[in-house]
Amino acid sequence: MTVSLKPSHLKRYKDIAVLLVKYGRGDLATRLDVEGELSPGIAASPAGDKPRAEELARDLERLGPTFVKVGQLLSTRADVLPIAYLEALARLQDDVLPFPFAEVERIVNEELGVRISKAFAEFEATPLAAASLGQVHRAILRDGRAVAVKVQRPGIREQIVEDLAAFTEIAQLLDRHAESGRLYQFEKMVDEFRKTLLRELDYRQEAQNLLTLRENLKEFRRLAVPAPVEDYTTSRVLTMDFVFGRKITSLSPLERLETDGAALAEELHQAYLKQILIDGFFHADPHPGNVFLAEDGRLTLLDLGMVGRISPSMQENLLKLLLAISAGHGDEAAERASEIGEKLDTFDEQEFRRQVSELVGVYQHAKVEEIRIGRVVLEVARAAGDAGIRVPSELTTLGKTLLHLDEVGRTLDPTFDPNASVRRNAAQLMQRRMAKSASPANLYAGLLEAKDFVEKLPGRVNKVLDIVANNQLRVDVDAVDERMLIDGLHKIANRIALGLILAALIVGAAMLMEIPTSFRILGYPGLAILFFLAAAFGGVALVLSILVSDRRPPERKRKR
């Protein structure tokens, strides 16, 4: 199957090719030089001389919103990029110039069906923040409720869809013509990016995420999630409670002293462990810019466009992995990580176990201020990819989330130990996992499966008995080949018998040496010499037979 490259995408092809050449993928980029030349002044970097990860982040910001979002999503792929690049991309900021207020008015009017002046008592023209997908304005509803209104940037959906089409074509080209494409499956990766970005562009989905997270975190009294205003929310406009507070990164030293940072960091960490390992639904982008300290002293989580979902079986595996890492059990961590991913033909289990044991060992002896559990999870995912395991996105998303969480925890409390927090909450996590498994829904599902098993059991038993009665039962056994075993035993018996004969010849020759006789060879009794020569020739023949025929054992054939 051939991949067609569209002339309308030439600029994006060139941008992607430049990135591949500049950041160490020149072997792939040579296939993508669709215009005959790359950007002036940019040449393939020599091996081992890669540009800094921060430079890649700046280049992605310069290329526009699609590249920024793809960069942020790539920050969850520890199996593709080194850790330094993951950390730089995880901190990607998409601050851009705001679009005119006239466009804001037009979009809000179209989406809400009424004029801004009728829907809101006040609506500030100057945005609080502007990003690549949209910008946020402060407003007040007619009932006096202070809200933040996020308005989607005009034409952004069409631009992202067009850019992703170019990404898909390049991914198809790499998957068919590059070894790395067959390993990482770039087309599948771009498809995941598309689904994630289109969900993020639908503000109704983000409003639902806010409601879900508010419900899941209601037990944590130090945490808050703004409530959406459903009547003022559409696919391109999101209205939610306004948070009176400040980013935790902008707190002054005095404000930090007045804040109970240790308690906030611990409760935030507990909340994320619950989200990831119990609920299976979590805020996937908790970098410090998305965490506000409200005036009432609570931490408020913002920007729920990017969330993660984890299946119950994956939650079990991730919990076991985190507990193994926090306890310093490198072999167990390697075992759990290998169970999470898909093992390829090139999987090197011994090397993978060695790397993970070394990572966990170094982490276990680190100082408190150096501990980064998110970084360790990403390192484990990276080692898995290098060793030949196709890592699921859930593992690397978890690593990125914990990496952000470590940074937030350190900002609130420089002495916060995420490792100790995992151990402190281990018992509660296990208890809640067990309680969730014993929920009425799971019990009913188990009863239905048991009912299905009991209903089908008589028919299955009758079928087995009919096969046995008709002498049609066949068992495939992949065990010892009896013919090979008998041949081997014959060979051993023959060699033992030959060895005994040779030994008897040597003993007999030694005894004949003492008997006087006129038949002599070289002055020795002739019969004794003949026995010695026969034993010598037989011994040499036996040695040659062992060396030649036993060097490579015959292949075992499967018997039925």
**Residue where a domain stops, chosen among 242, 258, 279:** 242
Indicate the number of domains in the chain.
Answer: 5
Q: What is the 3-state secondary structure (H, E, C) of 233-301?
A: CCCCEEEEECCCEEEHHHCCHHHHHHCCHHHHHHHHHHHHHHHHHHHCEEECCCCHHHEEEECCCCEEE
**CB-neighbour burial class of residue 419 (10 A; exposed 0-12, middle 13-18, buried 19+):** buried
Assess if residue 78 is contained within a domain: yes
Is the domain of 348 the same as that of 202?
A: no
Assess if residue 558 is contained within a domain: no
DSSP-derived secondary structure for 530-548: HHHHHHHHHHHHHHHHHHH
Q: What is the 3-state secondary structure (H, E, C) of 399-464?
A: HHHHHHHHHHHHHHCCCCCHHHHHHHHHHHHHHHHHHHHCCHHHHHHHHHHHHHHHHHHHHHHHHH
* Alpha-carbon distances, residue 37 vs 10, 11, 34, 42 (angstroms): 12, 12, 8, 10
Angstrom distance (rounded) from CA 135 to CA 493 = 87
Predicted pLDDT of residue 481: 61
Long-range contacts of 474-482 (CB under 8 A, 24+ apart): 474/560, 476/560, 477/559, 477/560, 478/558, 479/559, 481/556, 481/557, 481/559, 482/559
How crowded is residue 139: how many other Cβ atoms within 10 Å of its Cβ? 21
Residues in the chain: 560
Is the domain of 29 the same as that of 116?
A: no
* Alpha-carbon distances, residue 439 vs 56, 214, 520 (angstroms): 47, 22, 98
Domain that holds residue 384: 250-438
Tokens of 415: 């002495």
CATH code of residue 225: 3.30.200.20
Angstrom distance (rounded) from CA 291 to CA 408 = 8
**CB-neighbour burial class of residue 342 (10 A; exposed 0-12, middle 13-18, buried 19+):** exposed
Predicted pLDDT of residue 39: 36
Tokens of 68: 């920024």
Chain centre distance of CA 178: 22
Is the domain of 347 the same as that of 410?
A: yes
Who's near 336: CB < 8 A, 6+ residues apart? 317, 320, 321, 324
- Pair type for strands 223-224 and 237-241: unpaired
Angstrom distance (rounded) from CA 201 to CA 153 = 10
**Are the CB atoms for 402 and 252 separated by under 8 Å?**
no
Assess if residue 2 is contained within a domain: no
Assess if residue 555 is contained within a domain: no
Assess if residue 12 is contained within a domain: yes
**Are the CB atoms for 336 and 362 separated by under 8 Å?**
no
Q: Any bridge partners for residue 294, and if so which?
A: 245
Assess if residue 346 is contained within a domain: yes
Q: What is the DSSP letter of 228?
A: B
Is the domain of 88 the same as that of 117?
A: no
Is the domain of 266 the same as that of 354?
A: yes
Is the domain of 102 the same as that of 21?
A: no
Predicted pLDDT of residue 34: 38
Is the domain of 426 the same as that of 300?
A: yes
Is the domain of 261 the same as that of 409?
A: yes
Is the domain of 409 the same as that of 457?
A: no
Is the domain of 268 the same as that of 353?
A: yes
Q: Which residue has the tokens 């792929």?
A: 77
Q: Which residues are catalytic?
A: 285
Model pTM score: 0.67
Predicted pLDDT of residue 379: 82
Angstrom distance (rounded) from CA 278 to CA 273 = 7
Predicted pLDDT of residue 231: 93
**Residue where a domain stops, chosen among 121, 144, 175:** 175
Q: Could you give phi then psi for residue 148, rounded to 5 degrees? A: -110, 130
How crowded is residue 369: how many other Cβ atoms within 10 Å of its Cβ? 11
Assess if residue 1 is contained within a domain: no
Is the domain of 270 the same as that of 334?
A: yes
Who's near 483: CB < 8 A, 6+ residues apart? none
Angstrom distance (rounded) from CA 164 to CA 162 = 5
pLDDT in tens, the chain (560 residues): 555 566 667 777 788 777 777 775 443 444 344 333 333 333 333 333 345 678 888 888 888 788 887 787 777 666 667 777 777 776 666 557 899 999 999 999 999 999 999 999 999 999 998 888 899 999 999 999 999 999 999 999 988 888 888 888 888 887 787 766 666 677 888 888 888 888 889 999 999 999 999 999 999 999 999 999 999 999 999 999 999 988 888 888 777 778 888 899 999 989 988 998 888 898 888 877 788 999 888 999 988 888 888 888 888 888 888 888 877 888 888 888 888 878 877 888 888 888 888 888 776 666 555 557 777 888 888 888 778 887 787 787 788 788 888 888 888 888 888 777 877 877 777 777 776 665 565 555 666 666 677 777 777 778 878 787 787 777 766 555 667 767 777 778 777 887 788 788 788 777 777 777 778 787 778 887 888 888 888 888 877 777 776 655 555 444 44
Is the domain of 389 the same as that of 434?
A: yes
Tokens of 338: 């290998």
Assess if residue 111 is contained within a domain: yes
Predicted pLDDT of residue 171: 83
